[in-house]
Each structure stands twice: as C-alpha cells, then as structure tokens.
Chains A and B, each alone.
Chain A
Amino acid sequence: MTATRLAERLAQLLPVLFGVSLIVFLMITLTPGDPVEIMLADQRATDEQAAALRRDLGLDRPLVERFLVFLGNAVRGDFGISFFHRRPVWDVIAERLPATIELTLVALIVAILVAIPLGVMAAVKRDSWIDRALSAASLFGVSLPGFWFGILLILLFAVEFRLLPVGGRIGFAHEVPRETGFLLIDTLLAGDLSAFGNAIAHLVLPAITLGLPTAALLARVVRSAMAEVLASDYVLFAEAKGLTRRRVLLRHALKNALIPAVTVTAIETGSLLGGNMIVETVFGWPGLGRLVVESIFARNYPLVQAAVLLYAVTYVLLNFIADLLYTALNPKVRL
C-alpha cells in the first residue's frame, strides 16, 4: 500500500471519529431531563449544591465550548470523575478492561478454531451434510438471542451436569496477585496452575456464548471464499502438477481464501464488543460491559459516556484495520 493511499484512508477516518465523538457528546447533552437533577435524584441536595455540580460538570457553558472541552479531555483520556466510585472514570474503566479484552480474545480464538475447519470442509464437500449443517447453523447463529444462548449453556453445563462454573472469573478460593489484570497471565506469573485451570473453566461458557455466533458467520465467509478459490485456474494447475490434495488445499487454496476471513474477523471483533455487555451480564463477568450496565442503573453518566465513546472508537479503528488488512493482503486491490 502506498503512503498516499494510507493518508487517504486516514483522512476518511478522522471525520468519522469526530462525528462519533459528537454523537456521544450529544447523547448526554440533548436528551430530555437535567443530568444534574437525575444524578442528585436520590440525595437531598440544596439548590446551591446542584448549581455547584452543574458548574463542575461545565453545564453552564455554551454547547460548542462544552463539546470542545469534552473533545480535548477525551483525547487526553480525561473523562471526569465517576461519582459512584469517587475516582477518575478512566481509572475505573482501565481496571475492568483486561477482563473484557481477555474474554473477547478467547471468544475470538474459539470462533476462529471452529470456523476455519468447518468452512474449509463445507467448501471441499459442497452440498454434503456438513455443508448443509453449516448453513443451518449459521441461520441459527444469527437468530439466537445471545443472552438466551448463554442461559441455556449455564442450564446444561453448570446446573445439570455441574461441569463448569455458573459465572464469575475465578473461584473464591483462589487468590491471584494482580499484575496485568489478565487472569490467564497473572495466574501463570504466580505459578498457580490450579488457579489457571480454574480461570479457564470460568472462561469456557462465556467465550462459547460470545464466540459461536461469530463462528457461524465466519465459517460462511471461509466457505464461500474457499469455494471460489477451489474453482480457480491456479488450483486446477496445482492439482494438474500432481500435488497432493492436502498440499493444494492448505498451501495454495487456504492462503488466499483466508483474506476475506481476516477482514471479517477484524470487523466482527468490533461487534463482539456490543455482545460483551450481554454476555458479561449473563455470566456475572466483571468486565467493562457489566460495568456499563451497572453504571446505567446507578445513573453514572460520565462513565457510560466514556465507555460508549471507547467502544465506538475501538469499533471504528477495528474497521479501519480491517480495511487496511484487506488492501495489504489482497494483491488484486492494490492500486
């Protein structure tokens, strides 16, 4: 990819990031109801206290100025104070972030491990039972409400068979010193293998709940890309050369078929962020998604605003990366 092309893409990215920030700002500003009144609803506050809070929040300034201040602060990671926690919003978010990233990454690994072999098999054996099962499964994948799927898994594997824990990140018996916040890493750093195993056991159901619907989608992408590649001349040529079927599939076909899969994976990672709120609520997973849901009910608006902005910016950036990857990997798009 040329530098000008990259610059061009970046130039497209900036207005979107600006627009996203504007919408997040307007969400809290333009919605009916006085945030100060709502925040103080449960407390007996005097008019002076309300006015002071309004001043602290900058609510007495003109709209444009408030937006610029919001934007400037956001760039520096300053989202104000979480009233509920009495700490800076960003600190609270940063503390919960590793749990969410860990879950998302493991879900992604689940999705990839399930999707690629299934997609390849379905493409190689077109119209076989596996191909039909895959299209049925992907239809289910998009029709299944995530929260309900999670509950079914809990009913089956935690309540009925008692194989896996119902929720949480790790059993109470394990005490792991916090180093990175990623439990899979922290348990290993502490050399505590039983805690590591326990953390994995806690990850299985939430990761499947989050990852399987993505797997269904991804498998379809791999299948159609693989089917297209298998019908191409160079695969025919490779087979004519007398290469083994296995070598043709893995070395020649799969490499190219994975290009769209990489793009879709990057985009889907963004969608997993939304799914996180649901899955974390179902499994009592102490990550960002659950924090946001809790904050909504605690009327902790600065935190909700910061989290929504963080989700959106991550999503936009992931789409941007997907776009770059697609261009970088695919020689046909290179202009």
Chain B
Amino acid sequence: MSALAIEERPLSPLRLGLIRFAANKTALGSAAVILAFIVIALAAPLIAPHDPAEADLFRRLQPPAWAEGGEWGFLLGCDGLGRDILSRLIWGARVSLLVAGLVIAIAAAIGTLAGLAAGYLRGWTDTLISRLVDTLLGFPYLVFAIGLMAMMGPGLHNIVLALVYKEWVFTCRVVRGETLAAREQDYVEAARAVGCRPARIMLREILPNVLSPVLVVATFRMAYVIIMEASLSFLGLGVQPPTPSWGSMVADGRDFLVDAWWVSTVPGLAILALVLSINLASQGLRDAFDPRLHTS
C-alpha cells in the first residue's frame, strides 16, 4: 500500500490485527501447520498412498516402517484389519476439519445474529435468547452432545447438528456483550438519528465492529470442537465406518495395546498436533486483535 493511501484512510482494525498476527512467529508457524492439515485433507485422494478402507489381513498390525517388520510403503504401519494407517490418517483429516469447519461457521453465524438481536433490540428478544443461552450452558458439553447423538443416531450430519445446538452460545454471549457496548456509541446514535432501521444498524453499523472478537472466539472454539468430534467418534457415536476418523482410529487400537502401540498412538498425535496448532494460533489472534481478551 502506498504512503498516500495510508494518509487517506487509516488501517482497518482487521488489517491492523493481521499485521500484528503476522509478526508473531509462533502464531504464524501454527497457522502454517493448520494450513498444511487443510491441504492434506483437500488433497487426500491424490496423496494417500493406499485405499483407506482396503483391508489386507496379511498386513494385520504391521509395524511402522522404522520398526522391525515394517516397510516403507506403509510408513505408519497397519491397523487390526491390515489397513494403511497413514492413508486413514490423511482421509481422517477430512472428517475432523469438515466437522469443525461446518460447526464453527454455522454456530458463528447463528451466534452472531442472535447476539446482535439480543444486545441491540433488548426487551423480550434479549430475555428469550439469554434464557436459552443460560439453559444450554447448564449442560456439560460432552453430556449434551452425547445425549443428542444417542437420540439422533450417529453420522456426520448429526454430529454437526448436535455440536451446533450448543456451540452458537459461545459466540452469542460475546457478540451480545460487544453489541451492548456498541449500542451506546456515537456512531450508532448517529445512525439512529438519521432514521436507519434496526436491521440496518445491526448489520451495517455494529456487525463490522464485532467481527474481530467473533473471529477470535471462532478459532479457539474450533480446537474444542475438534476434540469433541474425536471424542464422539471414539465412543462410536461419530461418523460410521468405513469412513476413517481420528477418534475412531484411536478406539480401534484399544484392542491391540499390548501388541501394536502404534494403532492408537499415531491418530492421537495427529489430533494433538492439529488442536495444539489451533490453540497457539488462536492465542496469537487474541493478542493481535483484542488486547482486552489477553490472557497471560
């Protein structure tokens, strides 16, 4: 951007935040790891060395390549049905990222709209939404998700629904708080004074100003959602076989702990790496965008 442009227009908070984020090496590195996971998930059919569902009983519990009895064609070894763990890991990234992405996107949209409505309109809208939020917060997350999955049955579609039902609450609370504060600001007052309708004020005036906290909340909640999906899959309530998911891969390995440590260990490491990167990146985002949320 030229110097002239800066003089004409100050940097937007979003751009300013991104510049600060880019200066944080840990955060940037974590973002790169997340990006790598996304690329792997997208390119799964191209880069997975084997069919993730193809069983080969001759390769049952074959160790990783570096261990005795392993071979380089099956880098991370094979599971109890002789399926290639690396290929399942690569395909499993799709489930984790797809569920987390969908849940966070839908929950952020619902939560933002509900938070704007509650914070700006006040009155019975606020009472209704706040009561619902309080009630949903009355459930331990996993208990709520398990209860819903038990009733709806397993499957990708239902996991997304079960998690969205609770997840929007976290965005809603933050947006409501921000909106309550914004409501008293001069620019909102001005918009009201010139006769803008509530919908316009909420969406055109207030919304752009609450987007950075929404972004921050969305990233750190995403880490949590990935663990939730993995936990549900671990319990057998997630996506159903033959679709590989990291949580169910860990569960599969439980029967072979004595003979084959790698079957459970490897997919867990993948979850840890992804969730840790998201948490680090979200810490970076928080520091870059919202000094008030800074936790040290």
Residues of chain A at the chain B interface (Cβ within 8 Å): 15-17, 19-20, 22-24, 27-28, 31-33, 139-140, 142-148, 151-152, 154-155, 159, 166, 224, 270-271, 273-275, 277-278, 281-282, 292-293, 295-297, 301, 304-305, 308, 311-312, 315-316, 319
Contacts and interface: CB of A to CB of B under 8 A. Distances in A.
A315 B268 contact: no
A277 B272 contact: no
Given A28-B151, A33-B151, A304-B151, 7 more contacts: A143-B276, A145-B247, A155-B265, A224-B296, A297-B236, A308-B143, A315-B140
Interface stretch (B36-44, B81-89, B106-114, B223-231): B223-231
Interface stretch (B173-181, B188-196, B253-261): B253-261
Contacts of B253: 151
A274 B250 contact: no
Contact of A139 (B231, B264, B268, B276): B276
Nearest to B230: A145
A152 B265 contact: yes
A274 B276 contact: no
B140 A311 contact: yes
A144 B135 contact: no
A274 B140 contact: yes
B105 to A, nearest CB: 22
A299 to B, nearest CB: 9
B148 interface: yes
A275 B272 contact: no
- Interface centre among B135, B151, B227, B283, by most chain A C-beta atoms within 10 angstroms, is B151
Contacts of A140: 276
A190 B234 CA distance: 38
B151 A31 contact: yes
Interface string B141-169: 11110111111110000000000000000
A33 B280 CA distance: 42
A104 B257 CA distance: 25
A19 B146 contact: no
A296 B151 CA distance: 8
B147 A308 contact: yes
Interface residues of B, number: 47
Given A16-B135, A274-B142, A148 B257 contact: no
Nearest to A273: B140
A9 to B, nearest CB: 13
B114 to A, nearest CB: 16
Nearest to A272: B140
Nearest to A19: B135
B200 to A, nearest CB: 32
B139 A27 contact: no
Contacts of A316: 138
A16 B151 contact: no
B151 A23 contact: no
A301 B151 contact: yes
Contacts of B134: 15-16, 19
A315 B134 CA distance: 12
A152 B227 CA distance: 16
B271 interface: yes
A16 B143 contact: no
Contacts of B258: 159
A20 B271 contact: no
Contacts of A17: 138
Interface string B48-80: 000000000000000000000000000000000
Contacts of A166: 257
Nearest to A299: B150
Contact of A152 (B143, B268, B280): B268
Nearest to B279: A143
14 contacts: A16-B134, A19-B132, A19-B138, A31-B148, A31-B151, A143-B275, A151-B257, A151-B265, A274-B142, A281-B234, A304-B147, A304-B151, A311-B139, A311-B140
A88 B181 CA distance: 51
A281 B235 contact: yes
B257 A142 contact: no
A28 B149 CA distance: 11
Contacts of A292: 146
Contact of A155 (B131, B136, B257, B276): B257
B118 interface: no
- Interface centre among B132, B142, B227, by most chain A C-beta atoms within 10 angstroms, is B142
Contact of A145 (B236, B275, B283): B275
Contacts of A278: 142, 231, 234-235
A277 B139 contact: no
B145 to A, nearest CB: 9
B140 A145 contact: no
Given A24-B147, A304-B147, A315 B138 contact: yes
A2 B251 CA distance: 51
Interface string B269-296: 0011001100110010000000000001
B23 to A, nearest CB: 20
Contacts of B144: 308, 312
B237 interface: yes
A154 to B, nearest CB: 6
B257 A159 contact: yes
